[in-house]
A and B are shown apart, each in its own frame.
Chain A
Amino acid sequence: MSNSKRIRFTLNGRSEETEVQVRTTLADCLRHDLKKTGTHLGCEHGVCGACTVIVDGAAVRSCLLLAVQAEGANITTVEGLALSDEAMSPLQASFRKHHALQCGFCTPGMLTTAHALLSDEPDADRDRIREVISGNLCRCTGYVSIVEAIYDARHAYKRKDVA
């Protein structure tokens, strides 16, 4: 029991180790300590969804999780979605194709949420997509394009072994 703690987790496929104050949220740990500033912080109390990251396969709000709670977890942030520095993932490419971002502030949360959804439910229909991103606020209000981009990316998540 102490006010700071050394933690380890896997971030975008790489092992990370850092010392954090126990009151540090996972979002602040990612941004301040590990310099992964792709994860955005909007409201910092679990309303806007901008800080969504994927922890052990589940989309979660990184402002509502202490870094110490993520000890041992497998974490994917928006930086972990692209196939390489040059190549966007099919989901990211679909966001570009459909003009699904304007100011871009909500985009990391939209992408991580949609990636978790389609990884679990590649057949999600538009209503399910709308239900799932209802926890992500886009203040440019570009929801129609975002829903279309996610819907159009579904083919990339379908099981390849099904003929």
Chain B
Amino acid sequence: MKLPDFRYACPASLDEALQLLGDAGGSAKPLAGGQSLLPTLAFRLAAPGLLVDLRKIPGLDRIVVAKNGVQVGASVRWCEIERHEGLRTGHPLLHAAIRHVAHYQIRNRGTVGGSLAHADPAAELPGIAVTCEAQIELASPHGRRSVPAEKFFTGALSTLLNHDELIVAVRFPPWPALRRWGFEELSRRRGDFAIAGVAVFFDLDAAGRAANTHVGVIGAADRPFRLRAAEAQIDGTSVDAASIARAAAAAMDALDPQSDLHASGAYRRALVGTLLERTLAGALAGKGA
């Protein structure tokens, strides 16, 4: 299989890369780990005139766990998140969800920025970013901007990224040590894209009542999204069986998932309800994922 013909540049700085992307006027594509872009080229679903390889750009490969939140650089690879001890406690939901991304070999190459830019509706990182109200940090020749994840994803494989913009990092709000959380997804084989997945977290007050409940879903629409109707059923409750059942019912009411060869829409809707029940009950029990 031959990839379509293209030119190739490997700039040594972010400014140089942004310049190349800007000059190409939309005919260039950034290349990070290449784990989504190369299959796209192999199938000739894209034919960029220029690939701008980001591997020599310094400073995008850092994971910072600090009091004001967790910042993960765009060129950080899945295997680095997996091995990062600070993230296990600094952002356990992110750490647990990333363990579901693809296979060993792909986790050695695939990057945070690549996944966010590719915006697969079933991908884990975009889902966690939306669930946690992360900010996506972008750079262009005109300066920097920060976009909330919920606004960044605009549809299947579609984002707010301009052709001359690069993702430099994703920034998560601080994670309280006692926060309850859960993540579950279902795929037919280990490492496959999820048929659907659910991420949840909430904080418990002194009386054992939930606050700040967040529920995010992947694989059940054209982009990851929060289920606010389900969140509302949990906030202020003790996350007992009755409120979990009400949250699952609210989730299923709010969903109208697509059918494809992997699962029907009705199956996906029921699956999200089941995964939500499991993650909420697991989170309350302090199990995580």
How many residue pairs, one in A and one in B, have C-beta atoms under 8 Å apart? 97
Q: Is the CB of A79 closer than 8 A to any CB of chain B?
A: no
CB distance from A147 to the nearest CB of B (A): 13
> Which A123-141 residues sit within 8 Å CB-CB of chain B?
130-135
Cβ of A68 under 8 Å from chain B: yes
A141, B103: Cα distance in complex, Å? 18
Q: How many of chain A's residues have a CB under 8 angstroms from any CB in B?
A: 33
B35 touches A64 (CB 8 A): yes
Distance in Å: Cβ of A86 to nearest Cβ of chain B: 30
Query: In the bound complex, do residue B42 and residue A63 qualify as a contact, i.e. CB atoms below 8 Å apart?
Result: yes
Q: Collect the chain B residues with CB atoms within 8 Å of residue A135's CB.
A: 102-106, 191
Contact of B8 among A22, A49, A63 (CB under 8 A): A22
Q: Is the CB of B190 within 8 A of A134?
A: yes
Dominant secondary structure of chain B at its interface with chain A: loop
Q: A2 vs B39: C-alpha distance in the bound complex, in angstroms?
A: 22
Binds B, one of A10-18, A53-61, A93-101: A53-61
Within 101-153 of A, Cβ neighbours of B (below 8 Å) are at 113, 117, 130-135
Residues of chain B within 8 A (CB-CB) of A49 are: 103, 105
CB pair A65–B42 under 8 Å, yes or no, is: no
Are B2 and A61 in contact, with the CB atoms below 8 A? no
B172-198: contact bitstring with A at CB < 8 Å (1 yes, 0 no)?
000000000000000001110000000
| Across-interface contacts of B55 in A (CB, < 8 A) | 69
CB pair B38–A25 under 8 Å, yes or no, is yes
- 1/0 per position for B5-45, CB-CB distance to A under 8 A? 11111100000000000000000000100110011011100
Given the complex, which residues of A lie within 8 Å of B9, measured CB to CB? 1
Asked if B1 is an interface residue, CB under 8 A from chain A, the answer is yes
B residues near A134, Cβ cutoff 8 Å: 103-104, 189-191
**B residues in contact with A59, CB < 8 Å:** 104-105, 108
B60 CB to closest chain A CB (Å) equals 16
Q: How far is the CA of A45 from the CA of B191 in the complex (A)?
A: 15
C-alpha gap A1/B21 in the complex (Å): 13
- Identify the closest chain A residue to B43 (Cβ): A45
Chain A positions 25-69 with a Cβ under 8 Å from a chain B Cβ: 25, 28, 44-46, 49, 52, 58-61, 63-66, 68-69
B3 adjacent to chain A (CB < 8 Å): yes
Q: A60-B108, A135-B103 are in contact. List 11 more A-B contacts (CB 8 A).
A: A22-B6, A23-B3, A45-B1, A45-B39, A45-B42, A63-B1, A66-B53, A69-B31, A71-B10, A135-B102, A135-B105
Taking Cβ atoms with an 8 Å cutoff, the residues of B that contact A are 1-10, 31, 34-35, 38-39, 41-43, 50-51, 53, 55, 79, 102-106, 108-109, 189-191
User: Which 3 pairs between the two chains have the least Cβ-Cβ distance?
Assistant: A135-B103, A22-B8, A58-B108
